[in-house]
């Protein structure tokens, strides 16, 4: 069964990479249409989240941005299948790097680098673009319990060399430190809710919620630079891979370690909010980001 599914996914990916990128992305719109307009799965959550973040917007604008957000998830799902078949020609034609020199500056420090990221645009494609430029990269993520699906999913995502660290593995801290010692990049996706014991209270769009504090701990322990990274679909119909300069975290360091962790985590949330405000139609509003922290 798993071999059949893997073969089918590879065939779809091979055929998909032959299509113009915008044709492929638009072909995913039917997924968004079914999700948002037909079955209306989590539609209320999407609209409630947008009301928290943008209470000043009229309902019609929140509805349209919410619809575009879910449609974007459909676009990304179809495009994910092409990852094993991407080459340098595809990158040159469809991708724009903004700030790649910031990775080179961070690499020169020799401490590894910590990437602050979020579910905006197509993160898997973005990670692939960075690896194909020669930067070793590890992404912290959850694994699936169903083995055949986990194997298929990560064989597609990691086909070009992106490596993964299990977010719930008992040795993940060791794996992160090991990656940094190799001067690799480690991606922390920080925009999802995290309750205790691995999250702390922090505000996002002015409302308190739970946010994972692991990035703040590793930033303090390793002194590795923290670079915000994300992708977005530009007006030029290309994927833009943005790597911002390393954040200056010196002003958040105080004598009390817990306070430092809290201040840094809030700074990370502020940065993610800034990014979402630039491209709200491309963020993943379907997630229950503002669950009560406890």
d(CA 99, CA 102): 6
Is residue 44 in a domain?
yes
> Is pLDDT of 74 > 80?
yes
293 part of a folded domain: no
Give the C-alpha separation, 82 to 93, whole Å: 15
Average pLDDT value over all residues in the chain: 94
- Please, are residues 13 and 84 in contact by the beta-carbon 8 Å criterion? yes
pLDDT band at 9 (very low <50, low <70, confident <90, very high): confident
What is the average pLDDT across 167-172? 94
Is pLDDT of 13 > 90? no
Residue 292 lies in a domain: no
- Quick one: pLDDT band at residue 29, thresholds 50, 70, 90? confident
User: In whole angstroms, what is the distance from residue 289 CA to residue 154 CA?
Assistant: 25
Could you read off the pLDDT of 38-65 as tens digits, one per residue?
A: 999 999 999 999 999 999 999 999 999 9
Give mean pLDDT, residues 247-260.
96
User: Mean pLDDT across the stretch 199-216?
Assistant: 97
CA–CA distance, 90 with 128 (Å, rounded to integer):
12
Say if residue 19's pLDDT is above 90.
no
Has residue 241 got a pLDDT over 60? yes
Q: State how many domains the chain has.
A: 1
CATH of the domain at 113: 3.40.1130
| Alpha helix segments (H runs only) across the chain | 2-16, 21-27, 29-32, 43-53, 59-80, 88-94, 101-109, 123-132, 147-157, 172-181, 214-222, 257-278
**Confidence grade of residue 5 (pLDDT, cut at 50, 70, 90):** low
Of 18-22, 177-181, 254-258, where does mean pLDDT reach its minimum?
18-22
pLDDT of residue 2: 63
Percent of the chain with pLDDT over 90: 85
Residue 134: the pLDDT is 97
**Token pair in block for residue 158:** 């990691």
User: Is the separation of the CB atoms in 57 and 18 below 8 Å?
Assistant: no
Is the pLDDT at 15 greater than 80? The verdict is no
Task: State both tokens at 133.
Answer: 């430029």
Give a yes or no: residue 290 inside a domain. Answer: no
pLDDT at 120: 98
Backbone φ, ψ for residue 232 (5° rounding) = -155, 155
Sign of CA dihedral 5, 9, 10, 12: positive
Q: Reply yes or no on whether the pLDDT at 231 is more than 90.
A: yes
Average pLDDT for residues 80-99, to the nearest whole number? Answer: 95
- Neighbouring CB atoms inside 10 A of 277's CB total 12
Q: Note whether residue 119 is domain-resident.
A: yes
In a domain, 124, yes or no: yes
Q: Give the closest residue to 133 by CA, choosing from 166, 168, 161, 94.
A: 161
Domain that holds residue 7: 2-282
Indicate the pTM of the whole model. Answer: 0.95
In this prediction, residue 111 carries a pLDDT of 98
């Amino acid at each position: 069964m798993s071999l059949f599914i893997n073969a089918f996914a590879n065939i779809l990916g091979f055929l998909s990479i032959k299509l113009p990128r915008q044709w492929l992305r638009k072909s995913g719109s039917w997924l968004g249409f079914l999700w948002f307009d037909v079955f209306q799965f989590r539609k209320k959550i999407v609209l409630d989240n947008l009301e928290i973040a943008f209470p000043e917007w009229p309902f019609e604008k929140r509805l349209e941005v919410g619809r575009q957000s879910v449609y974007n998830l459909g676009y990304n799902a179809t495009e994910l299948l092409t990852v094993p078949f991407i080459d340098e020609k595809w990158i040159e034609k469809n991708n724009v790097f903004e700030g790649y020199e910031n990775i080179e500056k961070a690499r020169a420090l020799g401490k590894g680098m910590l990437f602050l990221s979020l579910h905006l645009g197509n993160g898997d494609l973005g990670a692939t673009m960075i690896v194909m430029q020669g930067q070793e990269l590890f992404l912290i993520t959850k694994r699936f319990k169903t083995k055949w699906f986990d194997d298929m999913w990560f064989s597609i995502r990691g086909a070009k060399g992106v490596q993964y660290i299990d977010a719930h593995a008992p040795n993940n801290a060791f794996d992160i430190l090991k990656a940094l010692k190799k001067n690799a990049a480690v991606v922390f996706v920080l925009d999802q809710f995290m309750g205790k014991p691995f999250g702390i209270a922090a505000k996002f769009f002015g409302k308190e919620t739970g946010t994972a504090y692991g990035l703040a701990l590793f930033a303090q322990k390793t002194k590795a630079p923290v670079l915000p990274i994300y992708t977005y679909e530009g007006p030029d119909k290309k994927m833009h891979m943005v790597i911002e300069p390393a954040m200056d975290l010196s002003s958040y360091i105080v004598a009390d370690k817990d306070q430092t962790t809290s201040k840094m985590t809030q700074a990370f949330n502020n940065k993610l909010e800034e990014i979402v405000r630039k491209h709200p139609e491309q963020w993943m509003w379907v997630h229950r980001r503002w669950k009560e922290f406890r």
